[in-house]
Structures are given as structure tokens and as C-alpha cells.
Amino acid sequence: MANLKVIKKRISSVKNTQQITKAMKMVSAAKLRRAQEAVVASRPYADKMLGVLSSLAAREDAEGHPLLQPRGKGRALIVVLTADRGLCGGFNASICKTGERFIRNNEEEFEAYDLMVIGRKGKEYLRTRSGLNIAKVYENITGNISYSTASLIGQEIVKGYTSEQYDAVYLIYNAFRSAISQVVTVDKLLPIVPRQVEEGVHMVQYLYEPSRSEVLEQLLPKNVEVQIFRGLLESVASEHGARMSAMDSASKNAKEMIGKLTLQYNRARQAAITKELMEIISGAESIKN
């Protein structure tokens, strides 16, 4: 009977866990819809701005603005976008491993790398890895994404690049495709990469109003902010999608486990009843004899 009590307690525990995973799946599904709408709305603007500035960079002299100037091979900044919470499958691990692998595979490209980590889970993972320098950490900002937050991060990145603290800046995040598909993406933020022009194609020159320097001074830093904002929105939507999938799998596994435990409980109960009946019959037979 003690064994029956243990199995029954395990069944009750798994059922409670199943209720939690189902609730988390529903919450993530509700949040995913809003996050997906924000991502879809931000993509056209971010893509168009990046396209315009890439085209602009192809027409401009690299000396026209600090954000267009390619630098040496000194120090690079890697911006890693992760989540503040877990229970979302391999979402956080895949981002962190990609960042770590990117640094290992490009050790000869730059003399040193600094990490700017957004999200508590990224900080917890990367700080345990030897040889990685975490220069800055942002926590608890993915719960309520705003452009003002992305703007502050973008301004800090631009300041680090223009002051020649960094020679390149890369952004690593999960690009949202669907609730069950997120793609780890590595984008080069700075310097802005000029668009490739086919040989023999003549590029039309732009006219700047009010002036060339003022337009570049406004647009180029703004692009960094927009790409950071877009990356944050993509990351949040991917997080909710990954968590919804993980909780759905957990709920299915809990259901399967409950079925196995119930079968085990019924067999143990049947064995206990059979044993008791055998004892009663044996006792009755001994009295007859």
C-alpha cells in the first residue's frame, strides 16, 4: 500500500505541473499575437531604412561620417539579445552558443571582443564561459519593449563606435518566423555595409536638404536605434513562440507520464488486491484443514 501512495502522489504532482504548463502556454500564445503584430509592423520600416542607408553608403565617401568609416582590427562589440526568463526550450542557449561560436571562429578578425548582453539568461550563461568579457548588461527590459529603451542602447553603441572604442558592432538575435520557427541571426550594425553595385551600373547621386552633413548626422545613428528596436521585437516574439512550443511539449509529456503512472498504479492496486484475496483463501483453507 505504501507503493500505491507514492504512485498516487506522483500522479497528483504531474497533474499540477500539467496545469501550470497549460496556463503558461495560453499566456505565451496571447502575448505572441501582440508581439507578432509589432514585429510585422516594424519590419518594412527597418528594412527600408537599412536599404536606403546601404545605398547611401555606396554613394558616399567613407570619410563622410564616422559611422561609415571602416576601422582596423582592434576591438569589436557583440550585442546579444536573450530573455530574462527560461522555460522556452533552447531559445536562450542557441543565442548564447552562436555568440560564443562567432567569437571563437573570428578570433583572428579582431584583437578583442566585448559583449553587451540584453537579458538575464544570457548574462547567467555567458559569464561562466572563460575568455568572454561582458562589458554591459541590460536586464528586465524585454517585458515592455519601447523605442525609447532601444534608442538609449543605440546611442550608447554609436558613442562607443564614434569614440573609436570599438571597430565593429554585431547584433545577434532570434529572428521570428513562426510560433515553431525562430532563426538565429547575426547582423553587422557598424560600420554600415555599402550595397553591392553591379559592374557597369551608374549610380544616381542624391541631393541633400538641408545639407549632406545634417542628413547623415540624423539618419545614420537613427538606423542603429531602429535596428536595435527591430531586434528586440523579433527576440520577444521568438521568445513567446519558443515558450509556447516548449510548454505544449511539456503538457503532452505530462499527459503521457500520467497515463503510464495510472497504468502502474492500477497494476500495483490489482496486485495488492490479489495478494489480499490469496491470503484470505489460504486462511480459509487452513481453517478447513
**CA 71, CA 97: separation in Å to the nearest integer?**
27
Per the annotation, the verdict on 96 as an active-site residue is: no
What residues have CB less than 8 Å from 58, skipping those under 6 apart? 194, 195, 196, 197, 203
Kindly provide the b/e burial profile for residues 95-114, where b requires at least 16 CB atoms within 10 angstroms of the residue's own CB.
bbebbbebbeeeeeebeebb
- Number of H helices and E strands in the chain, helices first, is 5, 5
SS3 274: helix
The DSSP output letter for 163 is: T
- CA-nearest of 77, 57, 78, 59 to 68 is 57
Q: Beta strand 75-81 with 112-118: parallel, antiparallel or unpaired?
A: parallel
SS3 202: coil
**Catalytic, out of 46, 53, 68, 88:** 88
Number of residues that make up the chain: 289
Instruction: Centre a 10 Å sphere on the Cβ of residue 270 and count the other Cβ atoms it contains.
Output: 10
What DSSP assignment string belongs to 49-112? HHHHHHHHHHHS-GGG-GGG----SSEEEEEEE--SS--STTHHHHHHHHHHHHHHHTTTT-SE
Active site positions, annotated: 88
